[in-house]
Structure 1
Amino acid sequence: MKILYLETSSKNCSVAISDDEKLLCVAEEVSENYKQSESLHSFVEWALEGAELSIKDIDVVCLGKGPGSYTGLRIGAASAKGFCYGLHIPLVAVNSLESMKETFLVQNYDLVIPLVDARRMEVYTAVYDGISGNELSPTEAKVLDETSFQEFNDKKILFVGDGAKKAKEILQLPDAEFNEDIYPSAQYLVKKTLEKIKNKDFEDIAYFEPFYLKEFHGVKKKKSEE
Structure 2
Amino acid sequence: MTILAIDTSNYALGVALLEDNQVLGEYITNLKKNHSVRIMPAIQTLMKDCEKVPADLTKIVVAKGPGSYTGVRIGVTIAKTLAWTLNIPLVGISSLEILASGVGRYFDGYVSPLFDARRGQVYTGLYQYHSGELTSVKEDRLSMLSDWADSLKETGKSILFIGNDLPLHQAAIEAALGSQAIFAASTEQNPRPAELARLGKDKPGEDIHSFVPNYIRLAEAEAKWLEAKGKILNG
TM-score (norm 2): 0.85
Paired residues, what number? 219
For 2:191 and 2:117, the matched residues in 1 are separated by 14
**Within 5 A, what are the aligned runs for 1:49-64?**
49-64=48-63
For 2:171 and 2:158, the matched residues in 1 are separated by 18
Q: Does 1:87 align with 2:86?
A: yes
8 A contact 1:159–1:178 mirrored in 2: yes
Once the two structures are overlaid, the 10-residue window that deviates more, 210-219 or 37-46, is: 210-219
Structure 1 unaligned regions, length at least 5: none
For 1:212 and 1:185, the matched residues in 2 are separated by 20
**Within 5 A, what are the aligned runs for 1:63-82?**
63-82=62-81
Alignment equivalent of 2:182, drawn from 170, 177, 183: 177
Cα offset, 1:106, TM superposition: 3.8
Alpha-carbon RMSD: 2.1
Give the structure with the higher percent helix: 2
Structure 2 unaligned regions, length at least 5: none
For 1:184 and 1:128, the matched residues in 2 are separated by 15
Cα offset, 1:3, TM superposition: 0.8
C-alpha deviations, 1:17-69, integer Å up to 9, x for none? Answer: 111221101112111x2421111001101110121101121111111111111
Secondary structure of the 2:154 match is helix
**Within 5 A, what are the aligned runs for 1:5-154?**
5-31=5-31, 33-130=32-129, 132=132, 133-145=134-146, 147-152=150-155, 154=156
8 A contact 2:16–2:197 mirrored in 1: no
TM-score (norm 1): 0.89
Amino acid at match of 1:155: K
For 2:105 and 2:86, the matched residues in 1 are separated by 38
Q: Does 1:213 align with 2:216?
A: yes
Once the two structures are overlaid, the 10-residue window that deviates more, 159-168 or 205-214, is: 159-168
Secondary structure of the 1:149 match is helix
Identify the residue that residue 198 of structure 2 maps to in structure 1.
191
Q: Identical aligned pairs, as a percentage? A: 30
8 A contact 1:94–1:189 mirrored in 2: yes
Cα offset, 1:118, TM superposition: 1.3
C-alpha deviations, 1:82-103, integer Å up to 9, x for none? Answer: 1112111111111111211223
Secondary structure of the 2:177 match is coil
